[in-house]
Structure 1
């Protein structure tokens, strides 16, 4: 069975998503029911909701909305990685409030949509350090050119558990493996980082990719982090840009064909259940 650590639900009637207007293929509702139908067919047993970069005024509302969805009969959602703004002065008070909510499993601030120096700010870094000891994670969503900033942040907060999204967002369509390979190996040297094998189909050519297209990127990420520090995620519905959930799950199984049963279980469910206490 599979734990999906990277699910996005989109409800435009409840929340505002300014960035969706620039991605027409995703500019609609993607409901829990639509996801659950495909997810159950794929063998997904539970999921964590990943924040969808809503309008800043809707950050708290997104958590409340998704928690409400999780209480519906048959929901696969067991928690949420919620949006945050560590660069803002109110972060410390906000953190004290949300970390008491058992539904919240971690935080994310998408860094490739802001200037590169945002994560270099003194307030941002001090606020990230505040997460230490909370049992909550911080997802790093960065482009390869921002890996230097990501590594610096990890080194400055060694007691915070980080999760690197999407194998570090390699340019699979452009067949670019360098300096991505060196960057992955370097950040994986930090024991407080977990690699997320998620949604890489969105970075491949949707017309021609196969499991073998993805293999160099997935295998290098797993090889760098090791089987005890990798988790799996769909990145639904972003993965629909590259073929969809069922295609990504099928490719994952093909890529893991040579792994042991224990190794597969760690990547697909065991590590996530341990990391987020699911």
Structure 2
């Protein structure tokens, strides 16, 4: 049996002694530190070889401090951290100058603006859209974290910036617990028609009922994303520590392998590492 390299494209680290996370006070299950050492122990056990840190919606004043903090962890001997997706505020006038600063930081591989907890029309703002277009030609990606009802707006943004590589987080955040397959499925099919969108197989265990989900629960969602995007436009992510809400890192890795049963070695290799290495120019 081949040993596949596994690149985690969606790791969150939380250190409340270093950074401020205003939203944590409303999410009791995650309102503690989740530091690199805890993640690294679990990651090594399940075969993760590299990780991209995903911004954790820190206070706006801490956005660049978060990148510096992650950079310090990446410099440690044997660190799994190979890059970072930075928080951003494309709706603000300062984004252009912010982008120029980040372009000089080799750690930063892309950006995200959390949209699923923001007003649905945020991405429709003129300034937001103009700033997203600035990413074209930079090699920097933009992660889309949207609810099913917002996928149409994400698709419109993608169409306005065909030169930007977008990453659709968490299979488009389906409401698995609420049996939301039908609402979500057609929108995934539509956004997948855009060649500049890659889907991230991540996060779904947190959207299922933690006490009752099985592989069969996740299968129609994950398989529809795979069928819609194809093996060259898929990456994998743990969404740690959010995945602890649905069983934890080892459970999600095991579930991923079960969901891919019957797939070829080439297909698994592209999903697990090859596409991520290409998209983010990882060594």
Give the TM-score, by structure 1 length.
0.99
Q: Would you say 1:253 and 2:252 are equivalent positions?
A: no
| Structure-to-structure mapping, 1:54-203, within 5 angstroms | 54-203=58-207
Question: Within 1, Cα distance between the matches of 2:181 and 2:117?
Answer: 23
In 2, the alpha carbon distance for the partners of 1:171 and 1:42 equals: 27
Aligned partners of 1:117 and 1:227: how far apart in 2?
31
Q: CA deviation at 1:100?
A: 1.7
Shift of 1:112: 1.4
Can you list the C-alpha shifts for 1:74-130, whole angstroms capped at 9, x where unaligned? 210010000000000011111111112111000000011211111100000000000
Aligned-pair CA distance for 1:178: 1.4
Supply the distance in 2 between the matched residues of 1:243 and 1:30 (Cα, whole angstroms).
16
Structure 1 unaligned regions, length at least 5: none
Give the gaps of 5 or more residues in structure 2.
Answer: none
Q: Which runs of 4+ in 1 moved over 4 A?
A: none
CA displacement 1:159-195 (0-9 Å, x = unmatched): 0000000000001111211121000000000000000
Aligned residue for 2:116, secondary structure, equals: coil
Q: Secondary structure at the match of 1:178?
A: helix
Matched, 1:240 2:248: no
- Normalising by structure 2, we get a TM-score of 0.97
- Any residues of structure 2 matched to 1:40-55 within 5 Å, and which? 40-55=44-59
2:215 is aligned with 1:215:
no
* Partner Cα separation in structure 2 for residue 179 and residue 203 of structure 1: 15
Q: Secondary structure at the match of 1:37?
A: helix
Aligned to 1:274: 278
Deviations 1:5-55 (A, max 9, x none): 000000000000000011111000001010011111111000000000000
- Secondary structure (helix, strand or coil) at the match of 1:107 reads strand
Aligned length: 278
Residues 1:225 and 2:229 aligned together: yes
Q: Secondary structure at the match of 1:116?
A: coil
